[in-house]
Amino acid sequence: MNQDRENFGSNIAAIMALAGSAIGLGNLWRFPYMVGQYGGAAFIILYILSSLFLALPIFLAESIIGRSTGSGTFGALEKLAPGRRLKWAGLVTVISPLIILSYYSVVGGWSVEYLGYSIVKGFGLDISGLFGQFISLPVMPLACHTVFLGLTALVVLAGVKSGIERFNKFSMPVLLVLIVIIALYSISLPGASGGIEYLLKPDFSKFTGDAVAGAMGQSFFSLSLGVGTVLTYSSYMRKKDNILITGLGTAGFDLMFALIAGLAIMPAVFAAGIQPDEGPGLIFQTLPYIFAKMGVESLVISRIISILFFLTIVIAALTSSISMFEVGVAFLTEEKKMSRSGSVLVILAGTWILGALCSLSFGPLSDVKIFGSTIFGLCDKLTSNYLMTFGGLLFVIVVGWIMGRDKVRDEFTNHGTLKANERIFNLIHFFIKFVAPVVILLIFLTNF
Ligand code: PHE
């Protein structure tokens, strides 16, 4: 392994970093809505099954590749399959997180703006057109995208230990406390029980093929799979750390956060008597309206809750964007022998430009359509429908079919020293080798 490569200081640090990558907008703006849409507790069960039997094996495959090679995605595939040109497929997984980062940073920027708005002004009841107006402006969203991406770059610039590890170790507990406070407040609102019922009451009539596909897609996105972030972070794991515990810990945190986020959001939505919405609409339109309604009762509480909420979103989005940024930086420092600061600058410039185009696609560039989508929509569809699944497939095939069973076992069990890992190795290997590729192929084909 490369001698001057930094590692995370402990197993907990690795879990915090990976959980930071996993917990993000996916948990806050998609999961709660999907749970309600697809039958409450019934969907939660599906989601847990999909996390355990599909997402976890892919996660472990990425981890095994990353830690065994001690390289970012491109170099890792070159080491594992020299001469097979697989590294070029690996290059796709260097580029895809940077595409996600570009549009993710635009949304991160909106959250920064809304955090500022909550602090300076607070939301009034006349906010209905605010979101649409704001995102179509040419300058302000760009400025916020710049701030968000700049913050991401600063953390990455500080390095694996003093930047990424330190930031995640500090922000993950903060995030948990914030979301629990908001959930407790939300549950205490009159009329909140409708939201709790929406989330938890199982409705098996909604247990459809769509729900299954939705659960799988969501677990994929939420655990940040197929884009080399898990691989790259795992390459910073110490040899004595436990890959299985890290995977279970990350998936557990991610699920717990998603559930609490549901309890933070849905009860408040129902208490305000509104229909839940998906995606940007939920966070940037429905919730500010709810904060404004709260303000009629108590201005102070409304301001505090909205500040805490948008702070949660900004931090959750930052810890995810940092992981995507690092994939690009690992590639440039390891493969192109660039300095960390030079690499950060290059990635910053590239993602800033693509992000700016995504941002402008809500305003001045809204007429530019590629394959029928705006630039923002295209980046989103391309990555979530095709590139992430492609990467997932690539990683499980490498571990299941190319790496060699003994090598995989050695890495997974720390050379036979982890007895519990040893015991379930056959099962995990079976899922990585046979189940995951088939299921991912099915998802890929349905996306077509
Ligand atoms: N998992 C993150 C979320 O839930 C998104 C993400 C995807 C982060 C891919 C990194 C890589 O928001």
Q: What is the pLDDT along the chain (448 residues), one digit of tens a residue?
A: 444 689 999 999 999 999 999 999 999 988 988 888 888 888 999 999 999 999 999 999 999 999 999 999 999 999 998 877 888 899 999 999 999 999 999 999 999 999 999 999 899 888 878 899 999 998 999 999 999 999 999 999 999 999 999 999 999 999 999 999 999 999 999 999 999 998 888 888 888 888 898 899 899 999 999 999 999 999 999 999 999 999 999 999 999 999 999 999 999 988 888 887 777 788 898 889 888 888 888 889 999 999 999 999 999 999 999 999 999 999 999 999 999 999 999 999 999 999 999 999 999 999 999 999 999 999 999 998 899 999 999 999 999 999 999 999 999 999 999 999 999 999 999 999 999 999 999 988 887 7
By the 10 Å C-beta count (0-12 exposed, 13-18 middle, 19+ buried), 228 is classed as buried
Q: Whose CA is nearest to atom 11 of ligand 1?
A: 224
Q: Which of 62, 224, 382 to mutate to test the pocket of ligand 1 (most atoms within 8 A of CB)?
A: 224
Q: 423 C-alpha to center of ligand 1: Å?
A: 31
Query: What are the tens digits of pLDDT across the range 272-288?
Result: 888 877 777 888 988 89
Whether the CB of 25 sits within 6 Å of ligand 1: yes
Q: Whose CA is nearest to atom 10 of ligand 1?
A: 224
Neighbour tally for 390: CB within 10 Å: 19
Q: 62 C-alpha to center of ligand 1: Å?
A: 15
Whether the CB of 230 sits within 6 Å of ligand 1: no
Whether the CB of 20 sits within 6 Å of ligand 1: no
Q: Whose CA is nearest to atom 9 of ligand 1?
A: 224
- Coil/strand/helix, residue 249: helix
pLDDT at 1: 43
Report field, pTM of the whole predicted structure over 0.75: yes
pLDDT at 5: 85
d(CA 68, CA 239): 8
Whether the CB of 27 sits within 6 Å of ligand 1: yes
d(CA 141, CA 83): 45
